[in-house]
Amino acid sequence: MTTDGQPMNDSTGDDEAKTTDDGSRRTDGRHTKADGGHATTDSEFATPSGAGTDTEDGHGLPPLGSVRRYLVTTNHKDVGVLYIVTALFFLIFGGVLALLMRLQLWTAGQGLLSAGAYNQAVSIHGLIMVFWFLSPFAFGFANYIVPLQIGAKDLAFPRLNALSYWLYAASGLLLGVSFFQGASFAGGWTMYAPLDLPMYTPEVGSTTAILALLLFVVSITVSSVNFLTTMHRMRAEGLTLRRLPLFTWTILLTVWMMLFAFAALLAALMILSSDRLLGTTYFSFTEGGSLLWAHLFWFFGHPEVYIVFFPALGVMAETFQTFTGRRLVGRKWFIASMVLVALQSFGVWMHHMFLTSINLQVKTLFMATTIGISLPFDLMVFSLIYTMIKGRIRFVTPFLFTFGALVLFIVGGITGVFLGAVVLDYEFRGTYWVVAHFHYVMVGGVTALIGGLYYWYPKITGKMYDEFLGKVHFAAYFVGFNLLYFPMFLAWETPRRVFDYPPGLTPWHQLATIGAFVLGASFLLMFYNLTASLFTGEEAGDNPWAYSTTAEWTVPSPPPLENFPGIPSYRSGSIDFLAEDERSAIGSGTAADGGELTDGGVATVSDQATDHAPGHERITDEGEGEDHASIWPLAIGVGAFVLLLGASGFQGASFPDGFAGTFYAGLTGIGALLTGGSLFGLTRERFTGPSGPFGESWPFDGIENVKTGVWIFLASDVVLFGAFIGSYVFIRVAQGWVGWEPVPHDPLPGLVNTYLLLTSSFSVVLAMVAAEKGSKRGVVASLGLTIALGIGFLLNKGIEWQELFHEGLLLSTNVRTSTFFLTTGLHALHVIAGLVIAIYMLTRATRGAYLEDERPIEYFGLYWHFVDIVWLFLFPLFYIL
Amino acid sequence: MSWFTQLPEPTSLPVQNGIVPRGTMVEVFRQIYFVFLVLGTLVGIVVIGYMCYLAYQYRDAGRGDADGEGGEGGEDGEEVDRPTLGELPTGSGGGRKLFTSLALSAIIVISLIAWTYGTLLFVEGAPSQGEEDFEVDVTGYQFGWEFEYPNGHTTDGVLRVPQGERIDLTVTSRDVWHNFGIPRFKVKSDAIPGQTTESWFTASETGTFQAACYELCGAGHSAMNAEVIVMEPTAFEQWYANTSNTSANATGSGNATEAGANATNATTTGAPNGTTNATGGNSTGNALLGATTTRSA
Amino acid sequence: MASTKLYAAIYVVLFAFATLQVAVEELGFLGEAYWVAFGAIIVLSFLKALVVAGYYQHLRYEPRSLSYLILTGLLAALALTVAASYSIT
């Protein structure tokens, strides 16, 4: 139905027959997933209906209609759909837990759930919504839309993208399983120490939930590296950073925050897992273990607030522009504000700890930074509001949702200022004020993302949703939302996470419960609408929205596998698709008209020239031969699931006796084999990803994709080790710095290891030099030497540890030994990983590899030297000082 | 039911010391909260109202697609430059308007926070000299509260305090992270194992009130309450004089055995605002490892 | 990029610095003036790291953006370490 608000008449005419044909095939595929189930399990829809147009250029990629496609696909659009559908499944999961809580709160006191079950519902609801729903939902869009918006054929590392998804799916499954292992985690989504230790939450399921989160963080890290490489390196000509569409901008900043924030969470979770599995004593350490967790968690946790909110902001900006028919007011300042927020987000975390024993100076400092971070948001809100002026505003479903989201966000923002005043925060801490505030902000964000779902639904499926039902959904949603969360402000004196509250507040809580069900029911409408529209919806055409600008609307709905009919370029100021030969003209730097490009274009020409020369051509010929299918990401996901499920049975450095222990030990073994084998398979597989030359690559011009990726990964590893070292410093300060004796009595074994690592670094350099000179013998000898030195390092460390163990100094002995063994142990794991890669490379080098192209050795070297550098700090910190 | 349902009625006139709110925690809170609420509501209504006005004013009333027609409220005749598909994203001016609004909101927010900062210093400040404060140590455990009076008397689950006197609380935990709060008197403090936090309150009325735990601490969190009984000063004196320094019930003994290894070199670092990283104390600090005994189903 | 000779010279310097760090402890400086010795040892570590990153990882010859990338990570880690440790003093 074409309602008046939907000016789709002007664009449907432009459609080509191709879309229709694509669209109808897509319908089958979509059905599998639109109802929220796992695409993986519903095999009844496995009707390979499509004639194989996709298979032809897909390089072994099954057609769209089949389930098999979604198991092996590495295409960003398919992965995006997988993310969106899986995230919606977790929305239902987390939503049901929330409804259980609301039912419990219908009256004060015990009800539906036991106390333990209630705490689990509270904790897992929080974890799911923050981790397994919000970010992945946004990243479904990011996967689908960002490459289209920046003019890339796919992400830089398509298989890693699929791997991110499968690790995410595996982690979610693991979380679900945790409920069946005694009980799942019940310590709140903030997982405060020491409640998160086995002493207080002894159930195996608690460990599983924490390991699930660990796996999720690994998935995020892989994904961050991938997105950053893609977004920085692979933009269309003329699309400088300043010119990026706003949704892409928000994703770019989100991913940057993710890279660093999640590295800190990874450290926290590794330490927590070690405390739970190996018996280290970081968080049970009396003088500061609890605070250490709070610092690590909130250092991640505050950026996380923006990580989940930024994509929503991007959706708001895009839809405000499209549906008001106005360009964003003060776009430059809007972007500047976001950059500022992203930077500042790492300097506000202690405002979550105002009531702890941190000192007044720090409180004051963090109060100031907190106010500082609220101001850019004011600017962004005003910018969105002013964009409406002189607009031609059409109240279609996507805009209703994002408009509503802005209203909710304003309420959330104002109530947040209350919390910024420390004196008020003292009272609001731990009450429903906080609950109401962050739900207004975060679920406000969800509101915008739902708007995004309606906005991009026609692009993704090729069908138009039912506008009337969409509007009804919005009405029910908005009423339900406010009915649910606004009473929480009125009942703010209720302590958080309790089911017993003052009876006088019962009416408010009952209103909230009613609101929760209205909100929940409104989603049924959405699911019905979106599912039914797959079959009965009108053809959407390339661009159903008037005044949309971004590149995804210039291609068919859904876009073909290779996205664009040519090479996208903004040379003329708006998008054009160039033919291959036109590109080569750019590539060789002969574009005569380069001078008249929009800003940035001139730089492009020279970038291209440098980019081209060192070696893109060497990897693949041209983009045509790209692959879109690999089974290994799925296999690694399965392996990781089994491995961690097995590891969850491990406690206090051993498996339990009896059947359970054997079972868990067996799972661990099988999982390790599966993961290792699939990783090997992934390495062995020949896979061609998208290759250059690319249009804009600032600021990583001339640094090839893989190399950029390696460096970005190393930057996150810096934060990981930084957080480990930071934890050590914190603990040592808490205990008194000077009175602390290093665990090894003698620095000599450490010094020997320093020598060994330094020498091995040198030999990697020699290997690279030899490869450059084309000396096979030199490469093999230097790599062999590196491996020998690395093994020597591990042996020496092994002997040293053995001696310490004999003296009775174990990981669990005290916090001194815990920090020593765990930090140097993490480093040793890095060494082992490096050795595995080196041995793999050595076997290839004996067959003459790397002589033509020494870059793999160089990249391995980057990692190996980094591991060396880390040791240069660990050695004095843990052996001398 | 003396639950903490309503805001406490004003029992005494707010003590206004110049512009910075002072007085009991309740008075301080009520004044600041009131100002924030009024301003917040005002700002919210203005901003959201303006949004809705714009949305209505510039709604697309199906006036066709011809550009430059100008909206009803738009300055007529002015050509409006609509975005086109595939263009390089650009903005549409408006920087000055934006910064005026930003400056306005910044003034409101910053002045509000600066205003409350004075109160924060007052709240965090040491008790005024000369006044006799009554000091109570509060220890949280799964799932209850233990109070220790200056004379060594300990009680479990019931805190008796004299009316009208400033009570200084030193709060810690024996096992996991708790948070001690008495909503009626607007006092709240984290109870963290191995750390002590300090707070204070003044009970302005007699009666029995509820203290609760504000940090998820396990299965019994919802029911982790204590009674706060505020007594007439004279009645309290009498009661207090009758307490010996024997505990009402034995607590936390025998728990500090294996924790010794944990605290290898305990150096207590002094803190400017009275925060100390307590290690020993009254066996609370080291009881972490043995505290499983106090867990209840 | 640098010559093999330079790489070798750097290797010797790194070797010497590592030895020097232990020497500072073995000669008892750590006992006498702890914080001076502490500073010296940490500075030596940073120097070594700079040399490895600059030459072995050839950051010196790369676009500055890579150095800034790593420095950002370092800065984040330092902010966490310093602020967290300061908050409990």
Q: CA A105, CA A409: separation in Å to the nearest integer?
A: 26
Cα angle value A331/A255/A134 (rounded, 5°): 95
Q: CA of B138 to nearest chain C CA: how many angstroms apart?
A: 21
Q: CA A325, CA A319: separation in Å to the nearest integer?
A: 9
In DSSP terms, B137 is beta-bridged to B148, B170
Collect all residues of chain A within an 8 Å Cβ-Cβ radius of residue B118.
none
Query: Running DSSP on this structure, what letter comes out for residue B281?
Result: T
- A446 touches A88 (CB < 8 A): no
CB nearest C70 (choices: A714, A872, A873) = A714
Q: Would the CATH topology of A9-536 be identical to that of A741-881?
A: no
The domain segmentation of chain A, as residue ranges, is: 9-536, 631-677, 741-881
DSSP 3-state assignment of A328? coil
CA distance between the termini of chain B: 27
Q: Tell me the count of A-C CB pairs closer than 8 A.
A: 160
Contacts of C64 (CB under 8 A, 6+ apart): none
Instruction: Using a CB–CB cutoff of 8 Å, tell me whether B283 touches chain C.
Output: no
Q: Is residue B246 part of a domain?
A: yes
Buried b (16+ CB within 10 A) or exposed e, A263-295: bbbbbbbbbbbbbbbbbbbbbbbbbbbbbbbbb
Closest CA to B122 of B219, B217, B27, B196: B27
Cα angle value A442/A448/A453 (rounded, 5°): 125
* Pick among A250, A285, A355 to test the B interface (most B CBs inside 10 A): A355
In this structure, the answer to whether residues C5 and C48 fall within a common structural domain is yes
Q: pLDDT tier at B132 (50, 70, 90 boundaries)? A: low
Q: In which residue are the tokens 């080196």 written?
A: A838
In this structure, the answer to whether residues C71 and C49 fall within a common structural domain is no
| Chain C residues touching chain B at CB-CB below 8 Å | 88-89
Helix C64-87 crosses helix A360-387 at what angle (to 10 degrees)?
A: 130
Q: CA of C9 to nearest chain A CA: how many angstroms apart?
A: 10
In this structure, the answer to whether residues C27 and C47 fall within a common structural domain is yes
Instruction: Output Rg (C-alpha) for chain C, integer angstroms.
Output: 16
Contacts of A255 (CB under 8 A, 6+ apart): A223, A224, A227, A228, A231
Q: Tell me the count of B-C CB pairs closer than 8 A.
A: 6
In this structure, the answer to whether residues C41 and C15 fall within a common structural domain is yes
- Give the structural domain span for C43: 1-57
In this structure, the answer to whether residues C49 and C8 fall within a common structural domain is yes
In this structure, the answer to whether residues C71 and C51 fall within a common structural domain is no
Collect all residues of chain B within an 8 Å Cβ-Cβ radius of residue C86.
none
- A405 touches A448 (CB < 8 A): yes
Q: Do B6 and A504 touch (CB under 8 A)?
A: yes
In this structure, the answer to whether residues C27 and C50 fall within a common structural domain is yes
Q: Is residue B53 part of a domain?
A: yes
Closest CA to A721 of A289, A276, A300, A263: A263
Instruction: Using a CB–CB cutoff of 8 Å, tell me whether A360 touches chain C.
Output: no
Give the CA count within 13 Å in the CB-facing half-sphere of A476: 18
In this structure, the answer to whether residues C46 and C74 fall within a common structural domain is no
CB nearest A346 (choices: C25, C69, C79) = C79
Which chain A residue has its CA at the smallest distance from B193's CA?
A286
Structure tokens of C6?
């330079």
Contacts of A12 (CB under 8 A, 6+ apart): A539, A541, A544
Collect all residues of chain B within an 8 Å Cβ-Cβ radius of residue A184.
none
Q: CA A554, CA A35: separation in Å to the nearest integer?
A: 29
Which chain C residue has its CA at the smallest distance from B277's CA?
C88
Give the CA count within 13 Å in the CB-facing half-sphere of C8: 4
In this structure, the answer to whether residues B280 and B169 fall within a common structural domain is yes
Give the CA count within 13 Å in the CB-facing half-sphere of B48: 18
Q: Do A393 and B60 touch (CB under 8 A)?
A: yes
Structure tokens of A283?
């968080």
CA distance between the termini of chain A: 74
In this structure, the answer to whether residues B37 and B113 fall within a common structural domain is yes
- A464 touches A27 (CB < 8 A): no
- The torsion defined by the Cα of B124, B126, B128 and B132, in degrees rounded to 10, comes to 120
In this structure, the answer to whether residues B287 and B155 fall within a common structural domain is yes
Q: CA of C89 to nearest chain B CA: how many angstroms apart?
A: 6
Q: CA A355, CA B171: separation in Å to the nearest integer?
A: 11
- Give the structural domain span for B284: 134-260+274-294
In this structure, the answer to whether residues C44 and C4 fall within a common structural domain is yes
pLDDT higher than 70, residue B292: no
Buried b (16+ CB within 10 A) or exposed e, B128-161: eeeeeebbbbbbbbbbbbbbbbeeebbbbeebbb
Number of structural domains in chain B: 2
- A694 touches A233 (CB < 8 A): yes
Which chain A residue has its CA at the smallest distance from C51's CA?
A869
Instruction: Using a CB–CB cutoff of 8 Å, tell me whether B276 touches chain C.
Output: no
- Answer yes or no: CATH 3.40.50.970 is held by domain A9-536: no
Contacts of B27 (CB under 8 A, 6+ apart): B12, B14, B15, B21
DSSP 3-state assignment of B220? coil
What value does the mean pLDDT take over residues B113-119? 86
Buried b (16+ CB within 10 A) or exposed e, A312-348: bbbbbbbbbbbbbbbbbbbbebbbebbebbbebbbbb
Q: CA A829, CA B200: separation in Å to the nearest integer?
A: 49
pLDDT at A626: 85
Q: Do A880 and C21 touch (CB under 8 A)?
A: yes
Q: Is residue B73 part of a domain?
A: no
Q: CA of B32 to nearest chain A CA: how many angstroms apart?
A: 7
Structure tokens of C89?
């003093």
Q: CA A317, CA A309: separation in Å to the nearest integer?
A: 13
Q: Do C66 and A700 touch (CB under 8 A)?
A: yes
Q: CA B177, CA A293: separation in Å to the nearest integer?
A: 11
CB nearest B262 (choices: A188, A281, A551) = A281
Q: CA A21, CA B126: separation in Å to the nearest integer?
A: 77
Which chain A residue has its CA at the smallest distance from B43's CA?
A414
Closest CA to A351 of A339, A335, A364, A342: A364
Closest CA to B153 of B243, B226, B242: B243
DSSP 3-state assignment of B147? strand
CA distance between the termini of chain C: 47
- B195 touches A356 (CB < 8 A): yes
In this structure, the answer to whether residues B110 and B171 fall within a common structural domain is no
Instruction: Output Rg (C-alpha) for chain A, integer angstroms.
Output: 27
Q: Do A755 and C76 touch (CB under 8 A)?
A: no
Collect all residues of chain C within an 8 Å Cβ-Cβ radius of residue A703.
62-63, 65-66
Q: Do B86 and A360 touch (CB under 8 A)?
A: no
In this structure, the answer to whether residues B112 and B191 fall within a common structural domain is no
Task: Encode A458-517 in three state secondary structure.
Answer: HHHHCECCCHHHHHHHHHHHHHHHHHHHHHHHHCCCCECCCCCCCHHHHHHHHHHHHHHH
Instruction: Using a CB–CB cutoff of 8 Å, tell me whether C51 touches chain A.
Output: no
In this structure, the answer to whether residues C24 and C1 fall within a common structural domain is yes
CB nearest B267 (choices: A186, A549, A739) = A739
pLDDT higher than 50, residue B45: yes
Collect all residues of chain A within an 8 Å Cβ-Cβ radius of residue C38.
881
* Pick among A409, A427, A437, A818 to test the B interface (most B CBs inside 10 A): A427
Instruction: Using a CB–CB cutoff of 8 Å, tell me whether C38 touches chain A.
Output: yes
Q: What ipTM does this complex have?
A: 0.97
In DSSP terms, B155 is beta-bridged to B147
CATH number of the domain encompassing residue B175: 2.60.40.420
Max Cα–Cα distance, chain A, nearest Å: 83
Measured from the Cβ of residue A642, the count of other Cβ atoms closer than 10 Å reads 22
Collect all residues of chain C within an 8 Å Cβ-Cβ radius of residue B269.
88-89
CB nearest B265 (choices: A332, A407, A740) = A740
Fold of A741-881: Four Helix Bundle (Hemerythrin (Met), subunit A) (1.20.120)
Instruction: Using a CB–CB cutoff of 8 Å, tell me whether B277 touches chain C.
Output: yes
pLDDT at B245: 53
Intervals of chain A under pLDDT 50: 1-57, 587-623
- One-letter amino acid for residue A315 of the chain: V
Cα angle value A824/A827/A832 (rounded, 5°): 125
Number of structural domains in chain C: 2
In this structure, the answer to whether residues C53 and C71 fall within a common structural domain is no
Chain centroid offset of residue B102 CA? 29
Q: Do A357 and B196 touch (CB under 8 A)?
A: yes
* Pick among C12, C69, C78 to test the A interface (most A CBs inside 10 A): C69
In this structure, the answer to whether residues C4 and C46 fall within a common structural domain is yes
In this structure, the answer to whether residues B121 and B235 fall within a common structural domain is no
Contacts of B42 (CB under 8 A, 6+ apart): none
pLDDT at A654: 87
Return left, alpha or beta for A387; rule: phi > 0 is left, psi -120 to 50 is alpha, else beta: alpha
Which chain B residue has its CA at the smallest distance from C86's CA?
B271
pLDDT at A602: 30
Contacts of A820 (CB under 8 A, 6+ apart): A742, A743, A744, A878
Chain centroid offset of residue B186 CA? 8
Closest CA to B36 of A212, A34, A489, A531: A489
Report the relative pairing of strands B166-173 and B197-202 from DSSP bridges. antiparallel
CB nearest A762 (choices: C11, C45, C77) = C11
Report the relative pairing of strands B134-141 and B166-173 from DSSP bridges. parallel
Collect all residues of chain C within an 8 Å Cβ-Cβ radius of residue B271.
88-89
